[in-house]
Amino acid sequence: MFGALGRLRRIRAHKTGRFTGVDLSPPYIRVAEVCLTRDGLAVTAAGQFSLPFSVHDEVIFAEEMAGALARAVQNAGAGTSYVVTAIPGEKVITRHIRIPPVPPKEIAQVLKWEAERYIPLPVSDLIIRHVNLGEVNGAHGPELHLLLAAVPETLARECHRCFTEAGLRLVAVDLRSLALWRVFAGLSGDGPQDPSTCAVLNIDVSYSQLVVVREGRLQYTRSLPQGLQVAAEVDEKDGARGSDQKEDVIYRAALEELAREAQRSFSWYQAQDREHPVTKIVLTGVGSRIQDVGPYLADRLGIPVVMDEPPVQIKTQGDYDPAFALAIGLALWGVQ
């Protein structure tokens, strides 16, 4: 999405065939290496490691972070230093905008003016990119649907410097929403697409990410400022939560707030496109491992909730872990 400060050239799959996704979702670093094999795409290394400092939602690209990144990639067993990451938190701004159809070469120029309307920060301090999501029918005729993304340039430089100090080659700073779309919908290529409209909800500790997909194409994204803090305490073996009464109250309040924000997002999306309601929610992320989350959201939102696995082979120890969906999607940036 942002490249690496917009300057590094993308490394093509036929040159390496192997990329590592680094998901910086506080309080963890999650690493997943994806390799292009004769049998298709495969996850060949994965690992989860604690961040080296206490943080709620914003990652600090300090010297100790560089050391933690180097150890995390090495300890995960990744065989390549080519990495793709996404900057978490509210400092990365995304907006869905629509503009009259213009030639592709003119979109960037139009966005210079549009960005000032949609982004509450001086655009001169930002790196701004866009993804063309295709043409849609607007109230007054055809329009281009664009996903606008912006990040403070200083933050992008700090991120790039940190990975460089870790001895890693940061080839792209992606969006979390694009990583989720890629891992659950972007691998089908030119094959038959599911005509239904589905949502992917990645629930993490500090916040969650929602994407809506129809016929393999991204329709809507939103970062939800709610996660399940208690998910950090999930037992790795059976996903059971503790029975502490205070913890249960906090968990229920967080779950209720998450459901409320998800419902608000679906209502907004449905107001834009009444002909294609969301018919299924794919639940992923560390919070999806808690046993009663799926049934609760299905009942609260009135939409079936399922747990799907991405169409990649898992060649690491153990079965697929939904906590690694983002890291896998980031790695797929280079090898799909």
Encode 267-294 in three state secondary structure: HHHHHHCCCCCEEEEEEECHHHHCCCHH
Query: Cα-flanking dihedrals φ and ψ of residue 291, to 5°?
Result: -60, -40
How many structural domains compose the chain?
2
Task: Kindly report the CATH number assigned to the domain that includes residue 278.
Answer: 3.30.420.40
Instruction: Write b or e for each residue in 202-233: b if 16 or more Cβ atoms lie within 10 A of its Cβ, otherwise e.
Output: bbbbbbbbbbbbbebebbbbbbbebbbbbbbe
Is 105 inside a domain boundary?
yes
Is 5 inside a domain boundary?
no
Is 249 inside a domain boundary?
yes
Is 111 inside a domain boundary?
yes
Which pLDDT does position 336 carry in this prediction?
A: 66
Last residue of a domain, one of 101, 129, 152: 152
Same-domain status, 196 and 286: yes
The pLDDT-based confidence of 232 (bands split at 50, 70, 90) is very low
Task: Kindly report the CATH number assigned to the domain that includes residue 144.
Answer: 3.30.1490.300
The pLDDT-based confidence of 1 (bands split at 50, 70, 90) is low
Same-domain status, 208 and 146: no
Instruction: Write b or e for each residue in 7-35: b if 16 or more Cβ atoms lie within 10 A of its Cβ, otherwise e.
Output: eeeebeeeebbbbbbbbbbbbbbbbbbbb
Last residue of a domain, one of 134, 152, 170: 152
Dihedral sign (CA 43, 49, 52, 58): positive
10 Å Cβ neighbour count for 266?
21
Same-domain status, 134 and 238: no
Same-domain status, 207 and 131: no
Is 227 inside a domain boundary?
yes
Partners of 208 in the β-ladder: 203, 224
Beta-strand (E) ranges in 38-120? Answer: 40-50, 82-86, 93-99
Determine the structural domain holding residue 277 and report its residue range: 192-308
Same-domain status, 198 and 126: no
Q: What is the distance, to the nearest Å, from the Cα of residue 43 to the centroid of all Cα atoms in its chain? A: 17
178: amino acid identity, one letter: L
Same-domain status, 196 and 297: yes
Select from 185, 210, 181 the least CA-distant residue to 195: 185
Counting every residue, how long is the chain?
Answer: 336
Same-domain status, 198 and 300: yes
Which pLDDT does position 192 carry in this prediction?
A: 57
Partners of 305 in the β-ladder: 281
Tell whether the model's pLDDT for residue 195 goes beyond 80: no
Which pLDDT does position 17 carry in this prediction?
A: 82
pLDDT digits (tens, 9 = 90+) for 253-267: 888 999 999 999 999
Using CB atoms within 10 Å of the CB of residue 280, give its burial: 0 to 12 exposed, 13 to 18 middle, 19+ buried: middle
3-state class (DSSP) for residue 187: coil
Mean pLDDT, the chain, rounded, equals 85
pLDDT digits (tens, 9 = 90+) for 46-88: 999 998 877 665 788 988 999 999 999 999 999 888 999 999 8
Calculate ∠ Cα 247-252-257, nearest 5°: 130
Same-domain status, 199 and 298: yes
What is the number of alpha carbons within 13 Å of residue 29 lying toward its C-beta? 28
The pLDDT-based confidence of 12 (bands split at 50, 70, 90) is very low
Mean local confidence (pLDDT), 296-308: 95
CA distance 61 to 192: 42
CA distance 63 to 47: 21
Is 160 inside a domain boundary?
no
Select from 273, 253, 204 the least CA-distant residue to 56: 204
3-state class (DSSP) for residue 324: helix
If you compute the radius of gyration of the chain from its CA atoms, what whole number of angstroms results? 19
CA distance 108 to 100: 13
Beta-strand (E) ranges in the chain? Answer: 18-25, 28-37, 40-50, 82-86, 93-99, 126-138, 141-152, 169-174, 197-203, 208-214, 217-224, 278-284, 305-306, 313-314
Same-domain status, 136 and 200: no
Is 116 inside a domain boundary?
yes
pLDDT digits (tens, 9 = 90+) for 117-134: 888 888 889 998 989 998
Is 297 inside a domain boundary?
yes
Same-domain status, 196 and 304: yes
